[in-house]
Each structure stands twice: as structure tokens, then as C-alpha cells.
């Protein structure tokens, strides 16, 4: 069963309602999903006892107050007019939900408070979210020692091995590498030998 309430708010496509009566996260907007399994079929009942078809399930990436959040197992229901976050589903994931002093706080067992929402005029709790870029992104890594960076990227390959990669076109866009300027602490640690444990103690 899903208990729905509608509130007219500007930019409603950026509003997610915290729903204490729904048993699953749901949205009617296809573009919110970072990945969607459209082979998943289901149906849910709404407050007036009508059934709505669920035509997919996937994950949604949201940016809330500058922080990226991934909401998993979200139903795709094209007939739904509002975006719903199920309180029950959050609790199942180990999130503690506290309603107190006209505010709702979501707490992670390790990270502490991760989200909060103030009660609206008609006693609803809403979250303002921005859609994240759906294409996977690769963030640039910078390093003062380029040779050491590529040494780490290639499984701690020795310098003579790195020099063979560029002439053989084994790695695309590999820069011209110079002799390393520092020792790799991880390689030194990994190659250390343990002293033999004596069979008898002194």
C-alpha cells in the first residue's frame, strides 16, 4: 500500500517526499535513474485503492546539499506524479529515522546525520535534490612524480618495464617517463623478508 499526498511546490521535479506509508522508493521520471532494469514488472496500490504499474527498478543518484547519494531499488512508475522515498526501506538499509521538533533526520550508523528535512506547512517532509550526471566520470589524478604515478597504475611495474610500454604502444597516451626520483615505499615493504623464527627460544 502506498499513502500519497500532493503538495504544489515549484520545481517539483527536484522534490522527493519522505513517505512513511510507502513500502518502496518510487519515481515517475525516467531520467532520474543512473541504471534501470526495465524487465522488472510489478504493481502497487495507492491510497484510493487503484493499482499502478511498475515497469522497472533501478538506482537513482541524487545531489542533496552538495553531497552525492545513491538510492537503490527504486521503482519506476510512469503514472506517478511525485517522487517518494520510503522510510521503511531506509530503515531496512540500516538508516535510523528520527522525527523530532518538526524535523526529520536520517542517521547512518558510521557517518552520523546524513540528511535532514524540516516539516512543511501541511505536515510533509520533503528533500530538495538535484539530478546527478548519469554518465560515468573519471576524475583526474595529479602527481608531482609522473613516473611514480604510472608505476602505481601499472601494478608497481619497474622503470625498465615502464619504458617498454610507450615504444610498443601498449598503453595509450602514456607520457614520456623519466627515471624515478624517489623509492616506492610499498615495493620496499613488500619485498622485505621476515627473519627466520628459531625452533627454540633463548
Tell me the average pLDDT of the chain. 82
Q: Is residue 55, in this structure, part of any structural domain at all?
A: yes
Does one domain contain both 107 and 180? no
Specify the pairing of strand 42-45 against strand 103-108.
unpaired
Q: Is residue 122 part of a domain?
A: yes
Calpha distance 41→57 (Å, rounded): 8
Q: For residue 140, tell me if it sits in a domain.
A: no
Total of domains in the chain = 2
User: 3-class DSSP state for residue 149?
Assistant: helix
Within a domain: 136: no
Are both 178 and 78 inside the same structural domain?
Answer: no
- For 105-120, what is each residue's pLDDT tens digit? 999 888 888 888 999 9
Same-domain check for residues 17 and 110: yes
Mean pLDDT, rounded, for 21-36: 88
Whether residue 150 is found in the same domain as residue 125: no
Contact 6, 28 (CB under 8 A): no
Q: What is the pLDDT of residue 134?
A: 55
Domain that holds residue 163: 146-189
Q: Same domain, yes or no, for 104 and 73?
A: yes
For residue 72, what is the domain's CATH number? 2.40.70
- Is residue 155 included in any domain, yes or no? yes
100 in a structural domain: yes
Residues 49 and 124 in one domain: yes
Same domain, 108 and 18: yes
| Position 104 pLDDT exceeds 90 | yes
Examine the domain organization and report whether 69 and 153 are in the same domain: no
Segment 144-199, tens digit of pLDDT: 678 888 888 888 888 888 888 877 778 877 888 888 777 888 888 888 888 888 88
Question: What is the torsional sign of CA 107, 112, 114, 118?
Answer: positive
Residue 20 and residue 56 share a domain:
yes
Q: What percent of the chain has pLDDT over 90?
A: 26
Specify if 202 maps to a domain. Answer: no
Q: Are residues 58 and 101 in the same domain?
A: yes
- DSSP string for 83-151: EEEEHHHHHHTT-EEEEETTEEEEEETTTEEEEEEEB-TTS-BEEE-EEPP-S--------S-HHHHHH
The last residue of a domain, from among 131, 156, 180: 131
The answer to whether residue 195 sits within a structural domain is: no
Residues 28 and 60 in one domain: yes
Q: Based on the fold, state whether residues 47 and 109 are members of the same structural domain.
A: yes
Amino acid at each position: 500500500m502506498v499513502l500519497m499526498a500532493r503538495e504544489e511546490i515549484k520545481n517539483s521535479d527536484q522534490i522527493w517526499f519522505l513517505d512513511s506509508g510507502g513500502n518502496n522508493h518510487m519515481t515517475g521520471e525516467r531520467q532520474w535513474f543512473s541504471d534501470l532494469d526495465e524487465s522488472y514488472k510489478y504493481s502497487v496500490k495507492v491510497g484510493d485503492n487503484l493499482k499502478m504499474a511498475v515497469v522497472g527498478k533501478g538506482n537513482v543518484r541524487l545531489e542533496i546539499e552538495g553531497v552525492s547519494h545513491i538510492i537503490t531499488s527504486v521503482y519506476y512508475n510512469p503514472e506517478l506524479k511525485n517522487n517518494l522515498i520510503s522510510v521503511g526501506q531506509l530503515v531496512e538499509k540500516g538508516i535510523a529515522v528520527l522525527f523530532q521538533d518538526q524535523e526529520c533526520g536520517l542517521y547512518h550508523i558510521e557517518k552520523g546525520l546524513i540528511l535532514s528535512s524540516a516539516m512543511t506547512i501541511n505536515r510533509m517532509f520533503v528533500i530538495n535534490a538535484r539530478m546527478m550526471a548519469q554518465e560515468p566520470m573519471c576524475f583526474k589524478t595529479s602527481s608531482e612524480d609522473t613516473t611514480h604515478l604510472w608505476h602505481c597504475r601499472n601494478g608497481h611495474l619497474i622503470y625498465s618495464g615502464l619504458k617498454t610500454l610507450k615504444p610498443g604502444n601498449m598503453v595509450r597516451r602514456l607520457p614520456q617517463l623519466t627515471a624515478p626520483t624517489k623509492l616506492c615505499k610499498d615495493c620496499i615493504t613488500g619485498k622485505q623478508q621476515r627473519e627466520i623464527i628459531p625452533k627454540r627460544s633463548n
